[in-house]
Structure 1
Amino acid sequence: MKVLIGAAAAVAGLVVLALLVVVGVVVSDDDASAAETTGGGGLRGVPTEFRKWILKADDACAEQEMTPALLAAQLWQESKFETSPEKATSGAGAQGPAQFLPSTFATWGRDDDGNGETSLWDIGDAVMAQGRMMCSLLKQAKSSGFPGDVRGLALAGYNAGWGRVEQFKGVPPKSFANGETFNYVQLILSYLPRFQGPSLIQVSGSGSAADALRKAVGRIGTPYAWGGGGPNGPSRGFCDGTNGYLNGDCVASSTIGFDCSGLVQYAFAPKANLPRTAAAQYGATSDRAVSRSDLKPGDLLFWSHGGSGSIYHVAIYAGDGNVVQAPRTGRDVELAPLTSAMPERDYYGATRV
């Protein structure tokens, strides 16, 4: 079931722990798909260009076990949402964001994005093919009578082939293929919370501010990484002697994600070429200051320890008193109230890109 959100109202409600924020910007027909969601518990933490295809693939499958989060978690394990041949080609010859062998893609692939060719490198074609194959495998898993989570059985079939699931009458054990399939299943199921609710923001409308907010929202659930992220998306962070540590360990260097300004830089690219740090982003936009009473979705918010030279955090206003932000090491990109996103006493001001 899909819900299309119209314009003009900004309403927030708490329903079964799922926060739904409707940002009041003008809806255009071209952007209608961006204001859709499914009954699968919400989808977060995925790039904007993948979101609509994941939702469509989920909608096309009648199996209850299929959810947007399951497809997203599988894509993360397969390719980290990469789409270039350099980063999304495996040693075994699997290609594209859904890591299909060309022979397998020939069975499941269609020209779903309507660009005149069927390609495992096209996001739409790849994700819809992934959905078709997983939907078929879920049906097989449910009718097989094999023990275990049917999602795990289907994932094992995707990774190793359904014949291996039949051979072992379940998910292949750790002794098979050095545990590749066993670990594949366990990892994807463990990633599910990262890509499903509770936080879901629907952004409808067009324009640079709405587009930037939509991109940032698509990354809710992505890990925080000090120094991570930029115009091209999340990246591995680093530790600088003070930042990037958790319980004494440098976690940023092994985490692919965003810090606060990396998220903002990504959200506004390529339409706005913002500098890398929060302080520099303030400097680049300070001539367009906005009072707190006049905030609009897509505005930038800044926090400081004292003056423009001490700005340490930036977030994007999401409407209805909320922000989208990458808060700190150990947390994920999130939706948070403006009043508690950072210490209220440190709020410095807002600007418009």
Structure 2
Amino acid sequence: MTGKQKAMLIGFLIGPFGGFMLLLILIAAVMGANMSAQAGEAAQPGVVSSVAGIPPVLLSAYNNAVANLPKLRPNCTGMTWSLLAAIGEVESTQAAGSSIAANGDINPPIYGPVLDGSGVGGNTTAVYNTTDAEKQLDGGSTYARAMGPMQFMPATWISDGQDGNSDGARNPQNVFDAALTTATYLCGTGTTDLSKPDQVNAAILRYNHSQAYVDEVLKWKTTYDQMGQNAGNGSPVPGGSARGQAVVAAAQREMAANIPYSWGGGGTNGPSLGYCDGTNGYLNGSCSASHTVGFDCSGLAQYAYAQAGVNIARTAQDQYDGAPTKIPLSAGLAALQPGDLVFFSLNPGTGKGIYHVGIYIGGGQMINAAHTGTNVRSESVWMSSYTGGGRY
């Protein structure tokens, strides 16, 4: 376009109708920018605001690592908060025993066993901190120890550690730094697609060269994927009370361990042998419960609440009757919080004839020991016989 043509176009825009047309153009541009921004926000996958059993700052660190990973590993795709959370669970039970500050620092610091070859933690070969930097990072220890919530070795951290909270430091005892370092370490330096089973398996093996470790991490990833069922659209998964989170976390662990159903099995001390009563506990015509260490529905509920420091009755009906707060059927699932008990009856809404109980985890889902032949699992609340909830 020549200078004269540009001048003619500008003159047209500022002519009698040009101001109006220019206004329309500006409005369209602003609307387009807003729509693009909204689309960008909606396109952020895998963000959850609260998951029972994971401290809020730590969950924020997992989400932050996923969001920042493309800047550091542009050829790595498929990273999820649930994979990072699974490793955090296996390595430190989500930084259990330490408080987490808003900036991500944990106190007290987390250290693994001293790798002096004594056999503690399965280690039979001494591993030394060979440089002053490694010793300083490891609290002055001559023998190496894994450090922080994600359990990095000192030498690995020095070479691979990341600054996840942009404070200018790389600290293995900071959850933002540790989560981002875990993400980059899993990705490696090549092209990786962690949505593919073979590649995520290889990535976890790179983190810890043990197939048993890989299997344990993948179990927890599946558990957290189920817990964060709304992760794909950014909708919050309600966290509930601290007590409720502890209840859910206890049930999650039994689910991840694939504890089987056993009629009459389980209680405050964990899974146990069940029994058969002439009707229940049988599988394929023989008594399964008498030789199966596991939980029935109310045994699982009693155990999970015991882990949160609350003693409740042993049977589903007594658990319903003893709940200080009842959530009526008419209130719907929206009135429930994670950790609440959900009860099922042949006469829904009456509170009588209760035959089953589950542990609500949010999003219309529960963890329960369903029946003989199954393991502790998560599934949708059985609305056809749901009779209400109970809160302790």
TM range (shorter): 0.5 to 0.7
Deviations 1:35-76 (A, max 9, x none): x99624989997222544332332231231322232234345
Match in the other structure for 1:5: none
Match in the other structure for 2:187: 138
- TM-score, length-normalised on structure 1? 0.53
Q: 1:100 aligns with which of 120, 136, 152?
A: 152
Native 8 Å contact 1:216 1:263 kept in 2: yes
Larger Rg: 2
CA distance in 2, matches of 1:308, 1:135: 52
Q: 2:54 aligns with which of 35, 48, 52?
A: 48
Match in the other structure for 1:29: none
Deviations 1:191-231 (A, max 9, x none): 644443597155567874x973797399666445566697x
Q: 2:77 aligns with which of 61, 64, 67?
A: 64
Q: Secondary structure in 2 aligned to 1:94?
A: coil
What is the Cα deviation at residue 308 of structure 1? 8.1
Q: What percent identity do the matched residue pairs reach?
A: 22
Q: 1:349 to 1:241 in 2, by over 3 A?
A: same
Native 8 Å contact 2:272 2:294 kept in 1: yes
CA distance in 2, matches of 1:244, 1:96: 44
Match in the other structure for 1:239: 273
Native 8 Å contact 2:317 2:354 kept in 1: yes
CA distance in 1, matches of 2:300, 2:219: 23
Q: 2:383 aligns with which of 297, 315, 339?
A: 339
Deviations 1:272-323 (A, max 9, x none): x35253455334325x444321342235433468998975533356788x35
**Quick check: 1:200 aligned with 2:229?**
yes
Deviations 1:87-119 (A, max 9, x none): 9643444355423234434552769699x9956
Match in the other structure for 1:157: 206
Deviations 1:220-266 (A, max 9, x none): 66445566697xxxx85222334999874855469xxx923444566
CA distance in 2, matches of 1:200, 1:218: 19
Amino acid at match of 2:369: P
Match in the other structure for 1:260: 301
Amino acid at match of 2:180: G
Native 8 Å contact 2:49 2:237 kept in 1: no
RMSD over aligned CA atoms reads 5.3
Match in the other structure for 1:285: 323
Q: Secondary structure in 2 aligned to 1:140?
A: coil
Native 8 Å contact 2:346 2:353 kept in 1: yes
Q: 1:303 to 1:253 in 2, by over 3 A?
A: closer
Deviations 1:114-134 (A, max 9, x none): 9x99564xxxx2574143144
Q: 1:65 to 1:304 in 2, by over 3 A?
A: closer
CA distance in 2, matches of 1:291, 1:228: 28
Amino acid at match of 2:357: V
CA distance in 2, matches of 1:251, 1:51: 36
Q: 1:294 aligns with which of 310, 317, 331?
A: 331
CA distance in 1, matches of 2:266, 2:155: 36
Q: Secondary structure in 1 aligned to 2:343?
A: strand
Amino acid at match of 1:291: P
CA distance in 2, matches of 1:106, 1:225: 43
Q: 1:215 to 1:106 in 2, by over 3 A?
A: farther
Structure 1: gaps spanning 5 or more residues: 1-35, 160-179
Native 8 Å contact 1:263 1:325 kept in 2: no
Q: Secondary structure in 1 aligned to 2:146?
A: coil
Q: Secondary structure in 2 aligned to 1:48?
A: coil
CA distance in 1, matches of 2:378, 2:43: 18
Amino acid at match of 2:368: A
**Quick check: 1:314 aligned with 2:351?**
no
Native 8 Å contact 2:86 2:221 kept in 1: yes
CA distance in 2, matches of 1:252, 1:81: 27
- TM-score, length-normalised on structure 2? 0.49
